[in-house]
Amino acid sequence: MSKDSLFSKKNMKLLSDPLDDNNPITVQVLGICSALAITVQLKPAVVMALSVLVVLSVANVVVSLMRHMIPSRIRIIVFLVVIAALVILVDQVLKAFVYDVSKELSVFVGLIITNCIICGRLEAFAMANPPGKAFLDGLGNSFGYGIILIVVAFFRELLGSGTLYGYPVLEKLGLYDLGYENNGMMILPPMALVTVGVLIWWQRSRNEKLIENK
């Protein structure tokens, strides 16, 4: 086994790849469900991105540590137990010490458990790689996921509600006085799908590696 450092070029690719070339949402099309559900406003999107960051990195490390012990026939069940335990633990700690954050997050607890990205990374990466690499992979993928979430939420909140992170941007700019109106369509789920679609389109037109052979 090669003894390259944790921050070697190859390992750094684990961090940077999911941001663009191998983005979990726009390229692998995983985790779409949560991307649609919680991108109405920026704040929940940011909270969700952070929680997935914690859960995915820790779950990746835990599963990677156990990778030689897990019987392959029940591995998916093991993943689910690890993820669910982590999520509940995080939720309980938040409820006790940062109650406000936990109220914001409680809606998404269930969604984190069912987030396909987490199961996908555990199965595809953590089961075959040492903990250090698995941790970087977890970080990279949750960044890739978080970026898309935040970009989608940015447009949906700005165009749908005229606010950003709850701050009434458009009202302060005086756009309403000029006859501008919020687009109510943006806060409904279909527009999340369209926004993600536009992102995928833009990404593919820009990144040549993603253009498929005819």
Of positions 25, 59, 78, 117, contacts another protein by CB under 8 A: 78
Q: Which amino acid is at 105?
A: L
Q: Does 181 bind another protein (CB under 8 A)?
A: no
User: Per CB under 8 A, which of residues 21..60 are in contact with another protein?
Assistant: 37-38, 40-41, 44
C-beta of 96 vs 178, nearer to another protein: 96
Between CA 131 and CA 180 the distance in angstroms is 52
Angstrom distances, CA of residue 88 to CA of 55, 61, 112, 142: 10, 17, 10, 19
**166 SS3 class:** coil
Q: How far is the CB of 170 from another protein (least distance, A)?
A: 15
Our finding on whether 70 is near another protein (CB under 8 A) is yes
Is the Cβ–Cβ distance between 53 and 117 less than 8 Å?
A: no
Q: Is 194 in the site for another protein (CB under 8 A)?
A: no
Nearer to another protein among residue 28 and residue 115 (C-beta): 115
Q: Could you tell me the smallest distance in angstroms from the CB atom of residue 42 to another protein?
A: 10
Judged by CB under 8 A, how many residues of this single chain contact another protein? 32
Question: Which residues partner with 164 through β-bridges?
Answer: 167
In whole angstroms, give the CA distance from residue 120 to residue 30.
8
Please report how close the Cβ of residue 54 comes to another protein at its closest, in angstroms: 15
Rule CB under 8 A: is residue 95 a binding residue for another protein?
yes
Contact (Cβ atoms closer than 8 angstroms) between residue 56 and residue 118: yes
Assess 92 for contact with another protein (CB under 8 A). yes
Distances (CA, A) of 166 to 151, 157, 160, 169, 173: 16, 9, 12, 9, 15
Burial of 181 (0-12, 13-18, 19+ CB in 10 A): exposed
76 binds another protein (CB under 8 A): no
Residues at the interface with another protein (CB under 8 A): 37-38, 40-41, 44, 68-74, 77-78, 81, 85, 88-89, 92-93, 95-97, 99, 106-107, 157, 160-161, 184, 187-188
